[in-house]
Amino acid sequence: MPLPRFERLPAERQELILAVARRHFAEQGAEGASYNKIIEAAGFSKTAAYHYFDGREDLLSAVLDGVLRRLLGALEPWPAARDEVEFWSRLDASAGALAAHLQGHPDDLALADAAIGRTSEGDGPWLAWFDELVSNGQALGVIRTDVDHGLLVTVTAAVFRAADAWALARMKASPTPPAPAEGAESAQVWALLRGLWSGTGSSFDEGNTDAR
């Protein structure tokens, strides 16, 4: 976490520093970006930097925490659906909102996997969102109950994480790729989830496929 002196900087200055760092980490990789170059680009000395952060990893953590907050902000808290149709509709809306955020914020897309990976174990906020999703789906009979709940939560979150990595690869391959959750691409993700959640991949009402 940033040191107290960083928190006392004006909010605009904090965001500028983190935005510069985020861009460098996104372009050069979470492990490859140069701390000295980030400091230089942000406009302060190495001595001043150590008043704000304990070091490179501290700065990286602050950047990834911000990425995760924005991802969860795009998803918004999971609202419990009342039936299967509403469940799929809300899941589609949540995935669409996340995809739109990632499409509009390529730095967050580039760092999403690293940000999620830091909280992919235990009771972190990322898994907590999927816990709510899976619990609601199980209560509605949409998601199987013959598999350990925690395993279903972890694997469901992993599908979304893999989809984000896939979207990043597609974005790098084309300057103007389609949105990650649109068309045939999203249909493939939903097919994975249907298979995972049903155990067969074909037990859901075919009438709902237009919403997914």
Longest dimension (CA), the chain: 63
> Residue 20 is encoded by which pair of tokens?
């510069």
Residue 46: pLDDT above 90? no
Question: What tens digit of pLDDT does each residue of 4-31 get?
Answer: 899 999 999 999 999 999 999 999 998 8
Q: What is the pLDDT of residue 166?
A: 77
| Mean pLDDT for the stretch of residues 108-120 | 84
Q: Which of 153, 148, 111 is nearest to 132 (CA)?
A: 153
Q: Which amino acid is at 110?
A: A
CATH architecture of 4-64: Orthogonal Bundle (1.10)
Q: What is the pLDDT of residue 25?
A: 97
Question: What tens digit of pLDDT does each residue of 156-188 get?
Answer: 998 888 877 776 677 667 655 555 445 556 678
Residues 25 and 38: their CA atoms lie apart, in Å, by: 9
Q: What is the pLDDT of residue 184?
A: 59
Lowest mean pLDDT, pick from 61-65, 178-182, 196-200: 178-182
- Work out the pLDDT band at 203, boundaries 50, 70, 90: very low
- Whether the CB-CB separation of 145 and 186 falls below 8 Å is answered with no
Residues 64 and 111: their CA atoms lie apart, in Å, by: 7
Residues 201 and 195: their CA atoms lie apart, in Å, by: 3
> Residue 10, CB half-sphere, CA atoms under 13 Å: how many?
3
Residue 208: pLDDT above 60? no
Q: Residue ranges of the domains in the chain?
A: 4-64, 66-211
In sequence order, what are the residues at sequence separation of 6 or more whose Cβ sits closer than 8 angstroms to the Cβ of residue 171? 106, 109, 177
Q: If residue 175 lies in a helix (H) or strand (E), which one and from where to where?
A: none
Residue 108 or residue 46, greater confidence: 108
Residues 128 and 131: their CA atoms lie apart, in Å, by: 5
